[in-house]
């Protein structure tokens, strides 16, 4: 009898631990990252037209979900200029930003991939979380800031994707949505 109670107790304890872990992960997954107040209202761009810049942490696993969104946006709006700017924190060596995420970003047709070696550009844009996207109109005015996914690592349609699409189609949309990802200005190691 005591053995049965111990087995049932162990099983219930294990099940409770699994359920708690799942709820904890879901809560983390759905908790937005930080976004600083916008520092600039406009930026100098190298092209005339709509410009989307995504500030990314090279080691952020959540970032992978943003790449399909960028491919989709670029496919629907070939005139949209897309940049992915990888932030290299000050405490990391040159070349630290290169890796799987960099390679994936370079495979998005027509996308420019660059490095922000001290995070200065990202800070001026108010980007604190990996995956923070900034959309500027043809006059260089910032019209949108936020994430392109509905949660950390969640692939699919999102408020951010709909907002960018709306703006590019000439239908003013949300100016800001939550961004989900890892802290942008740390090495994460």
- The SS3 of residue 128 is coil
Residue 23 structure tokens: 């709820």
Helix H or strand E encompassing 11 = helix 2-29
Segment 42-79, tens digit of pLDDT: 555 556 799 999 999 999 999 999 999 999 999 999 99
Of 37-41, 48-52, 93-97, 117-121, the poorest mean pLDDT is in 37-41
DSSP track, 130-171: TTEEEEE-TTSBEEEEE-SSSSTT--S--HHHHHHHHHHTT-
| CB under 8 A, 24+ apart: contacts of 93-101 | 96/58, 96/187, 97/58, 98/58, 99/58, 99/59, 101/56, 101/58, 101/59, 101/60, 101/63, 101/64
Q: What is the DSSP letter of 85?
A: E
User: Per-residue pLDDT for 115 more than 80?
Assistant: yes
Name the phi and psi angles at 82, rounded to 5: -120, 130
Q: How far is it, in rounded angstroms, from Cα 100 to Cα 59? A: 8
14: left (phi over 0), alpha (psi -120 to 50) or beta: alpha
pLDDT on residue 44: 54
Q: What is the pTM of this model?
A: 0.80
Strand partners, 86: 56, 115
């Amino acid at each position: 009898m005591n053995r049965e109670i111990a087995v049932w107790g162990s099983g219930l304890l294990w099940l409770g631990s699994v359920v708690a872990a799942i709820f904890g992960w879901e809560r983390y997954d759905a908790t937005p990252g930080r976004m600083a107040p916008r520092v600039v209202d406009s930026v100098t761009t190298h092209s005339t037209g709509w410009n989307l810049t995504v500030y990314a942490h090279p080691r952020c696993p959540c970032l992978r979900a943003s790449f399909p969104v960028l491919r989709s946006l670029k496919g629907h709006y070939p005139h949209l200029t897309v940049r992915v700017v990888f932030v290299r924190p000050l405490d990391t060596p040159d070349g630290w930003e290169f890796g799987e995420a960099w390679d994936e970003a370079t495979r998005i047709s027509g996308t420019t991939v660059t490095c922000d070696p001290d995070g200065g550009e990202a800070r001026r844009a108010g980007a604190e979380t990996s995956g923070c996207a900034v959309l500027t109109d043809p006059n260089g005015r910032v019209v949108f800031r936020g994430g392109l996914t509905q949660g950390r690592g969640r692939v699919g349609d999102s408020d951010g994707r709909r907002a960018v699409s709306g703006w590019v189609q000439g239908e003013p949309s949300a100016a800001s949505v939550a961004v989900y990802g890892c802290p942008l200005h740390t090495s994460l190691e």
